[in-house]
């Protein structure tokens, strides 16, 4: 059989032989011109050269790949923890399908039982095994990987057990839980901006390739192009599903990031179960789904981690996917909570997206049919994210439960009650030194960064400037665009002070924004956010203390009136005076 998957990693930057000095703790990248970067950049989206064709035995005979035989029985004693990757449980959903009116049997493949907690342990380990077999790596070498985190954990786990060094390059959006696990496994972490396009030098892929170029004895295993990615699922996950289902499976639903999971699964399952339907899951804001028209949306950012991209990775062969479902953060994360609450499955955010999509697609299946859904990772990665009520409420995914009589007098007051000053804004090209001078002069700790079109790009904060200046990542001459903080919270003018207080429980400030619709054509509009102000803990505290009923009572008994009284109290007093 010809290769079921992409052929080789011909792009791979060669591992340079020679000295294998201890890797420095922090990597500062040398500057590289755009031309130099473009000449060296290895695209993660070049079309696959794989010749595999469904049901073409003759063509598929010339398979260039090494396959690993599936063994359903685990060893009684494992030589190391890497042997506890795979053989994950397949579990029936009992409540959720009923609630969605789904009649068929729905089984979930619980990948969070893998040793490192996700489906990506399979490919991390597999890519390391293949590189070892081909003599590409030896203990002590540096494995660099651009990843949304889970592949990083898979590789770092293999690296810890087998004695490799590991650098993981991941976008800022990915959870601190993943970062902490990676650090504990001994990996170094490099973070990159969320907004960087995949082919820019600042993206996680661009930065990983620049590091690979600079560091001796380093290699990028490259999940976007490495045949070991889909092969891990072709040889492993798919065989397990077929074994667990005795080859009876009518639909498979899997989310796509690199697409390695769905491509590898689809190829093996379709070889053995020709009528199976393969459903891909892609979040709004990503472009992996087909037809292209379903990808159109105003969404530019989504919270669910690990799925979706702004390019089509080489290992994703969309011909292997029969239909796609687009998903939304709110449905996905509420479903993840339901999977935990109603089915006892301690899974992550993309699992909610996948099960939500399965509930849409499996409605057409009969009672005697079976749908298998891949649950990619564990809630462990998201303890401070979708598991946290405040995090969910800040994003309007849930409303806080407030029992009647529990409210404080100021909770329902709106942001408009606060005396907010219009903030100073700066442009991204401003030098850091100038931003520090402005902060000094105006006694501000943070300044919004706004581009020429008036769009809010993020904040430059004292904390961020300090952190980056101290670690040498920026100099006074750097531009503020190099230290933009984009994880800040936003509230609107109609937000209540209660909502604000929940945000300020964890953040020192929030940006008060107002949305404006901008028409560029009769049928084309976009939303622009105008900055109304910055609100800090001190603003809220001042409002509560100055308008507090007890303070006002004291002042009244002293015969004084309060200057900064809140309208509600003024109204209450007038009523009382009548």
- Catalytic residue ranges: 120
The alpha helices in 237-395, defined as continuous H runs, are 238-244, 260-272, 329-343, 349-361, 389-394
**Residue number, 15 or 151, with CB nearest to ligand PLP:** 151
What are φ and ψ of residue 326, in 5° steps? -90, 140
Q: Does 256 bind ligand PLP (CB under 6 A)?
A: yes
Q: Does 348 bind ligand PLP (CB under 6 A)?
A: yes
The alpha helices in 367-416, defined as continuous H runs, are 389-394
Name the one range near ligand PLP by CB under 6 A: 249-257, 289-297, 358-366, 540-548: 249-257
**Of the candidate residues 48, 226, 237, 261, the single one contacting ligand PLP (CB under 6 A):** 261
Least gap, CB of 465 to ligand PLP (angstroms): 32
> The sheet that has 370-375: what strands, in order across it?
90-92, 105-110, 370-375, 251-255, 277-283, 323-327
Name the one range near ligand PLP by CB under 6 A: 301-309, 389-397, 454-462, 545-553: 301-309
Write the CA distances from 96 to 93, 244, 457, integer angstroms. 7, 22, 40
**Residue number, 159 or 254, with CB nearest to ligand PLP:** 254
**Residue number, 221 or 307, with CB nearest to ligand PLP:** 307
Token output for 476? 């006074």
What residues pair up with 107 in beta bridges, in sequence order? 92, 372
Q: How many CB atoms lie within 10 A of CB 498?
A: 16
Least gap, CB of 218 to ligand PLP (angstroms): 21
**Residue number, 228 or 257, with CB nearest to ligand PLP:** 257
Token output for 556? 């009244």
Number of residues that bind ligand PLP (CB under 6 A): 19
Least gap, CB of 261 to ligand PLP (angstroms): 3
Name the one range near ligand PLP by CB under 6 A: 89-97, 147-155, 294-302, 396-404: 147-155
Q: Does 377 bind ligand PLP (CB under 6 A)?
A: yes
Name the one range near ligand PLP by CB under 6 A: 305-313, 334-342, 362-370, 542-550: 305-313
Q: Does 3 bind ligand PLP (CB under 6 A)?
A: no
Sign of CA dihedral 146, 150, 153, 154: negative
Token output for 468? 């980056």
560-568 long-range contacts, CB within 8 A, separation 24+: 564/419, 566/410, 566/413, 566/417, 567/417, 568/409, 568/413
Q: Does 350 bind ligand PLP (CB under 6 A)?
A: yes
Rg (CA), the chain: 27
The binding track of 117-136 with respect to ligand PLP, each residue x by CB under 6 A or -, is -x-x----------------
**Of the candidate residues 86, 259, 285, 533, the single one contacting ligand PLP (CB under 6 A):** 259
Q: Does 376 bind ligand PLP (CB under 6 A)?
A: yes
Q: How many CB atoms lie within 10 A of CB 403?
A: 6
Q: Does 227 bind ligand PLP (CB under 6 A)?
A: no
Q: Does 151 bind ligand PLP (CB under 6 A)?
A: yes
Least gap, CB of 150 to ligand PLP (angstroms): 4
**Of the candidate residues 48, 88, 226, 255, the single one contacting ligand PLP (CB under 6 A):** 255
Parallel, antiparallel, or unpaired: how do β-strands 105-110 and 90-92 relate? antiparallel
- 111, HSE (Cβ side, Cα atoms, 13 Å): 26
Sign of CA dihedral 422, 427, 432, 438: negative
**Of the candidate residues 86, 152, 306, 352, the single one contacting ligand PLP (CB under 6 A):** 306
Name the one range near ligand PLP by CB under 6 A: 30-38, 99-107, 258-266, 435-443: 258-266
Name the one range near ligand PLP by CB under 6 A: 153-161, 255-263, 395-403, 421-429: 255-263
**Residue number, 171 or 206, with CB nearest to ligand PLP:** 171
**Of the candidate residues 60, 258, 446, 479, the single one contacting ligand PLP (CB under 6 A):** 258
Q: What is the 3-state secondary structure (H, E, C) of 509-529?
A: EEEEEEEEEEECCCCCEEEEE
| Closest residue by Cα to residue 289 from 259, 264, 266 | 259
Residues that bind ligand PLP (CB under 6 A): 118, 120, 148, 150-151, 255-261, 305-307, 348, 350, 376-377
């Amino acid at each position: 059989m010809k290769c079921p998957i992409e052929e080789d990693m011909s792009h791979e930057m060669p591992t340079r032989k020679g000295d294998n000095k201890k890797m420095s703790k922090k990597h500062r990248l040398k500057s590289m011109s755009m031309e130099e970067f473009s000449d060296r950049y290895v695209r993660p989206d070049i079309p696959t050269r794989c010749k595999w064709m469904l049901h073409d035995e003759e063509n598929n005979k010339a398979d260039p790949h090494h396959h690993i035989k599936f063994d359903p029985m685990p060893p009684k004693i494992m030589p190391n923890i890497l042997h506890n990757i795979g053989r994950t449980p397949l579990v029936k959903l009992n409540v959720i399908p009923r609630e969605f009116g789904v009649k068929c049997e729905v089984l979930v493949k619980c990948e969070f039982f893998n040793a490192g907690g996700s489906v990506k342990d399979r490919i991390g380990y597999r890519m390391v095994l293949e590189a070892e077999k081909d003599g590409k790596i030896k203990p002590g070498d540096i494995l660099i990987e651009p990843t949304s985190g889970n592949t990083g954990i898979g590789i770092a786990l293999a690296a810890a057990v087998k004695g490799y060094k590991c650098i993981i390059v991941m976008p800022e959006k990915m959870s601190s839980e993943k970062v902490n696990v990676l650090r504990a496994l001994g990996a170094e972490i490099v973070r990159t901006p969320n907004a960087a396009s995949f082919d820019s030098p600042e993206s996680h892929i661009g930065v990983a390739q620049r590091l690979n170029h600079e560091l001796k004895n380093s290699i990028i295993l490259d999940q976007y192009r490495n045949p070991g990615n889909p092969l891990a699922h072709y040889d492993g996950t798919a065989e397990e599903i077929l074994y667990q289902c005795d080859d009876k499976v009518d639909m498979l639903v899997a989310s796509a990031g690199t697409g390695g999971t769905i491509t590898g699964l689809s190829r093996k399952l379709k070889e053995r179960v020709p009528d199976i339907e393969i459903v891909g899951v892609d979040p709004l804001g990503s472009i992996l789904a087909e037809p292209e028209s379903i990808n159109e949306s105003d969404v530019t950012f989504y919270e669910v981690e690990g799925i979706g991209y702004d390019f089509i990775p080489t290992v994703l062969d969309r011909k292997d996917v029969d239909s796609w479902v687009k998903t939304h953060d709110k449905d996905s994360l509420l479903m993840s909570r339901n999977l935990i609450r109603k089915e006892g499955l301690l899974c992550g955010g993309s699992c909610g997206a996948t099960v939500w999509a399965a509930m849409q697609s499996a409605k057409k299946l009969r009672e005697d049919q079976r749908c298998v859904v891949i649950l990619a990772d564990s809630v462990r990665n998201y303890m401070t994210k979708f598991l946290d009520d405040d995090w969910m409420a800040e994003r309007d995914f849930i409303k806080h439960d407030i029992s009647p009589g529990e409210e404080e007098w100021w909770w329902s007051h709106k942001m408009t009650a606060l005396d907010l000053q219009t903030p100073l804004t700066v442009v991204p090209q401003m030098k850091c030194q100038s931003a520090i001078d402005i902060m000094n002069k105006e006694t501000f700790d943070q300044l919004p960064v706004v581009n020429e079109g008036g769009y809010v790009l993020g904040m430059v904060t004292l904390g961020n400037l300090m952190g980056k200046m101290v670690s040498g990542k920026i100099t006074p001459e750097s531009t503020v665009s190099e230290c933009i903080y984009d994880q800040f919270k936003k509230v609107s003018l109609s937000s209540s002070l209660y909502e604000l207080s929940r945000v300020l429980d964890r953040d020192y400030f929030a940006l008060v924004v107002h949305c404006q619709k901008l028409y560029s054509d009769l049928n084309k509009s976009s939303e622009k956010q105008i900055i109304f102000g910055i609100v800090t803990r001190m603003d809220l505290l001042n409002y509560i203390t100055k308008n507090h009923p007890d303070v006002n009572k004291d002042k009244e008994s002293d015969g004084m009136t309060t200057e900064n009284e809140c309208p509600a109290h003024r109204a209450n007093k007038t009523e009382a005076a009548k």
